[in-house]
Amino acid sequence: MQQCLVIGRTNVGKTAFVLNFAEYLGLSRVEITFNYPDGFATKQVFRLEHARQELIGRGQHKTRCLQALEVEVPAGKSKKRILLTDSSGFSEGIPRDQALRQAAAQTLLEIKKAALVLHVLDASIPGAVGEVDRQIANYAETRGGYVILANKMDLPQARDGLQRIRSQFPKQLVIPISALYKRGFKEVKAIVAHNL
Ligand SMILES: Nc1nc2c(ncn2[C@@H]2O[C@H](COP(=O)(O)OP(=O)(O)O)[C@@H](O)[C@H]2O)c(=O)[nH]1
Ligand SMILES: [Mg+2]
């Protein structure tokens, strides 16, 4: 199954995006497979409301693994089943905690394998584009199927942030979204359907 991998720094809204995008695609329950760097995997079924409560806003210390769920994306008259994968957030520098280092290495390897990479940035903060984001963009864009999602566009400060992001990544496709309010999801759906 082809994979759409969601990456970005901690707290930019990766998990909010994945869960709300799954809901937007029609799911009310999600079966999430937690794939740990050491090869251990476990599955858990959540109602979407419960998944949001449990998994959003838990930062890098909670998400130390890849969290994959299957979704169906309409493509023309048919539907494509794809794996939508949430990752643990990148932080600036090399994490001191070994589990976080392993999770970051696991995410980097997965970037190579994924059919499409969605790189989420928080457009509402002054440092929307960090050094680690530039490095990830350089690494990820060499492989095609790479799109930037400028998130939190519901916040007023995000308009300026979107401009800064676009000026820093003039060659990349940047889609403004609000993961919280499911805005920009139609565009994201079109990109996913097109790339997978
Ligand atoms: N205002 C606003 N807040 C958001 C949005 N998306 C996520 N958040 C908030 O940002 C915080 C981090 O979200 P989360 O999905 O856990 O980020 P992750 O660490 O990248 O997975 C939470 O408090 C979310 O409620 C958005 O589109 N708008
Ligand atoms: Mg998360």
Q: Atom 2, ligand 1: which residue's CA is nearest?
A: 152
The CA 78 to ligand 1 mean position distance, Å, reads: 32
Task: Identify whether the C-beta of residue 107 lies closer than 8 Å to the C-beta of residue 64.
Answer: no
Architecture of domain 3-195: 3-Layer(aba) Sandwich (3.40)
- Classify strands 66-75 and 3-8 as parallel, antiparallel or unpaired: unpaired
Ligand 1 shell residues, CB under 6 Å:
8, 10-16, 56-57, 59, 89, 151-152, 154-155, 178-180
Beta bridge partners of 8: 120
Give tens-digit pLDDT for 28-82.
Answer: 999 999 999 888 999 999 999 999 999 998 765 555 789 999 999 988 888 999 9
Residue position matching structure tokens 């864009």: 141
Pick the ligand that lies closest to the CA of residue 65.
Answer: 2
C-alpha to C-alpha distance for 4 and 71, rounded to whole angstroms: 10
Domain coordinates in residue numbering, the chain: 3-195
* Ligand 1 center from residue 56 Cα (angstroms): 7
- Which of 18, 21, 52, 56 to mutate for ligand 1's pocket (most ligand atoms within 8 Å of CB)? 56
Question: Around Cβ 13, how many Cβ atoms within 10 Å?
Answer: 24
**CB 119 within 8 Å of CB 135:** no
The residue ranges of DSSP E strands in 52-152, in sequence order, are 66-75, 78-86, 116-122, 146-151
Residue 57 Cα, ligand 1 centroid: separation in angstroms? 6
pLDDT digits (tens), the chain, 196 positions: 999 999 999 899 999 999 999 999 999 999 999 999 888 999 999 999 999 999 998 765 555 789 999 999 988 888 999 999 999 878 777 777 887 788 888 888 899 999 999 999 999 999 999 999 999 899 887 877 999 999 999 999 999 999 999 999 999 999 999 999 999 999 999 999 998 8
